Structure 1
Amino acid sequence: MKKKSSRKRPSRFRLFRVIVLAGVLLTLALIFLVSTLGSQQFGSLHKLILEAVGPLQKTVSIGSSTVNRFKSEYVDILQDSLRLREKNKQLVKQLQENEIKLNRSREAMATNASLRKLLEFKNSLGQQSKLAASIIGKDPSTMFRSVIIDQGSNAGITKGDPVVNDEGVVGQVFAISPNYAKVLLAIAPSSAIDVLLQKSRVRGILKGDGTLTYRLEYILKTAEVQEGEYVVTAGYGGIFPTGLRVGVVSEIIRKPRGMFHEIKVTPSVDYQKLEHLLILHQPNLAEIKQLEQP
């Protein structure tokens, strides 16, 4: 029992010394703090701490200033970029609108020029009944190459009426409705037109072959035919007026056998650029009798 009591004394004494030392240090700290606050002067420790902390604080301050300046410049750049982007959108929109207006102006000028040529050709045909029409559709079939026009029986169009433009013969009306009609193009394989070689006055039949060329058939080998000679309508049958342009002889194939030349004709009409047409109305017998009545 005595041994246990002797062991407890040193541990208690050590604890007492720790408590006393802590009290002394706390007292010194309080005295140092009071003296510092009271005198408002920096002591050696404060100076040492200030020298150590000063550069760090300076670095932090410079960094903070740089960050703030960069942030301000970035915001300004971002705002300028947004303004430029909006301005660019406005300029692009304005450019597109101007291009649309320019394209409309060009289209109006081209249409006006085409209609002026058609009007001049219309006036050159004299007193024959004629009606202007525009193409609104095309049949891509090779066998039945045709176009749809925006005039029909309500405008006086009848089946078989010849169709022309300022370049020459285009085809014939072969189907009609009250407001629309189909025109069989002269280049269709089912088309056939009586024609004349303008120089030699030799008659033949012009047929389409489904491409952008004609075949001139039934021209005897005894006839004098030359490349470059013009082909015009013969006027037989009362369908097409005499002398309308059809095409130009582009190739003569002289075969050793057979009675006829094989002749290719290039159309005077550009079928890839058809827009506006003239329908030449041919009065039928009933209309002629009605006109002859007093």
Structure 2
Amino acid sequence: MFRLTRRSAQMQKNNRNKKKDGADGFRPVLFGGIALTVLLLFFAVIFSSQEFGPFYKLLLDVAGPIQKGTNYLAAPFHSVREKYLDLLTVREEKQRLLEELQKCRAAAYANRGAAALNARLRKLLEFKESSGLPTVTARIVGKDPSPWFRSVIIDRGLSDGVDKGMPVVTGEGIVGQVYAASSGYAKVLLAISPSSAIDVLLQDSRVRGILKGTGGNSYRLEYILKTVEVAKGDHVVTAGYGGMFPPGLPVGIVSEVIRNRRGMFLEIEVVPAVDFSTLENLLVIEQKKKEFRP
């Protein structure tokens, strides 16, 4: 009796398992059929222009919301993709504009440099034509960093007609004097060097003095008596004595006059007519002078 009851229970359990397996196998088929039907209707809606009956309209009402929902869900992804592409485009455009800006700046710097060089060369040419003196054009290729013996090296020498004792100028005024020369190069002692001394005149009063360098960008005008009227802004020019510099070349402008109680002479500071910090192209006046000893 017990065996029959146990066998009957086992048979019922097997039948339930078979039914469950059958149901589990039927579900994918059912869902696949529904999906296939919806897909066919979707393609029918898109590609067909024919009119169908009420059943088609019903299916169309079902497929429409599905398609609308799909587009609604996909819209944010399209928006994100478009924004990402726009961001990439903006970055590329920014990089391109930065490169163009750098090129424009470089061109602007080059143009300003060329304009400044052109202006300096024009002044040199004007001086050469107006003075009527034989000159040699030179370019600075080196500088002496010493503040007590300031000098520059130029790319002209004995083979170019440049010799010791020749004055050196720019279109603005005097620069210094050649004190050493080789076949291809020469060394120029700058007028602002403490080792330099030049005979000069106050242009208006014609009073003579000695101009000495300070080692910086200024001169001291010495041996001007207190009885002489000297004012800020007076022009100083070369005197031409001793055959060192031609007369009347610009030297500088009086920037300060000090009258001390003691002593016979004024203390006068002169600002150079030449900007020694931007020297580049020079003129050497081919005029034989006494040997210069700094």
Given the alignment of the two structures, is residue 98 of structure 1 paired with residue 89 of structure 2, yes or no? no
3-state SS of 1:20 partner: helix
Aligned match of 1:210: 215
Aligned match of 2:258: 253
Distance 1:186 1:88, change over 3 A: same
3-state SS of 2:10 partner: helix
Report the residue type matching 1:140 in the other structure.
P
Aligned match of 2:9: 18
- For residues 22 and 136 of structure 2, the distance between their equivalents in structure 1, rounded to whole angstroms, comes to 120
Given the alignment of the two structures, is residue 163 of structure 1 paired with residue 168 of structure 2, yes or no? yes
- For residues 224 and 106 of structure 2, the distance between their equivalents in structure 1, rounded to whole angstroms, comes to 52
Aligned match of 1:292: none
- For residues 150 and 192 of structure 2, the distance between their equivalents in structure 1, rounded to whole angstroms, comes to 7
| Cα displacement (A) at 1:281 | 1.6
What pairs up with 1:21-40 in 2 under 5 angstroms? 21-26=12-17
- For residues 67 and 6 of structure 2, the distance between their equivalents in structure 1, rounded to whole angstroms, comes to 47
3-state SS of 1:258 partner: coil
Aligned match of 2:181: 176
Aligned match of 1:56: none
Aligned match of 1:185: 190
Distance 1:63 1:101, change over 3 A: same
Aligned match of 2:62: none
| Cα displacement (A) at 1:241 | 0.2
What pairs up with 1:67-78 in 2 under 5 angstroms? 69-78=75-84
- For residues 69 and 243 of structure 1, the distance between their equivalents in structure 2, rounded to whole angstroms, comes to 86
| Cα displacement (A) at 1:74 | 3.6
- Which one of the candidate residues 113, 121, 137 is aligned to 2:119? 113
Aligned match of 2:272: 267
Contact 2:147 2:215 in 1 (8 A): yes
TM-score by length of 1: 0.72
What pairs up with 1:194-209 in 2 under 5 angstroms? 194-209=199-214
- For residues 31 and 131 of structure 1, the distance between their equivalents in structure 2, rounded to whole angstroms, comes to 112
Aligned match of 1:53: none
Structure 1 gaps of 5+ residues are 1-8, 37-59, 286-294
Report the residue type matching 1:108 in the other structure.
A
The answer to which of 199-208 and 91-100 deviates more is 91-100
Number of residues of Structure 1 aligned to a counterpart in Structure 2: 252
- For residues 158 and 195 of structure 1, the distance between their equivalents in structure 2, rounded to whole angstroms, comes to 23
- For residues 234 and 31 of structure 1, the distance between their equivalents in structure 2, rounded to whole angstroms, comes to 125
| Cα displacement (A) at 1:72 | 4.4
Structure 2 gaps of 5+ residues are 28-65
Deviations 1:35-60 (A, max 9, x none): 99xxxxxxxxxxxxxxxxxxxxxxx9
Larger Rg: 1
3-state SS of 1:100 partner: helix
3-state SS of 2:288 partner: coil
Deviations 1:92-149 (A, max 9, x none): 32332233233322322222122112211111111x2211223334333211222333
Report the residue type matching 2:244 in the other structure.
I
- For residues 246 and 35 of structure 1, the distance between their equivalents in structure 2, rounded to whole angstroms, comes to 111
Distance 1:108 1:238, change over 3 A: same
The answer to which of 252-261 and 162-171 deviates more is 252-261
Contact 2:258 2:266 in 1 (8 A): yes
| Cα displacement (A) at 1:65 | 6.5
Aligned match of 1:152: 157
Distance 1:139 1:61, change over 3 A: farther
3-state SS of 2:262 partner: coil
Q: Percent same amino acid among aligned pairs?
A: 50
Given the alignment of the two structures, is residue 83 of structure 1 paired with residue 89 of structure 2, yes or no? yes
- For residues 245 and 118 of structure 1, the distance between their equivalents in structure 2, rounded to whole angstroms, comes to 14
Report the residue type matching 1:123 in the other structure.
E
- For residues 34 and 96 of structure 1, the distance between their equivalents in structure 2, rounded to whole angstroms, comes to 71
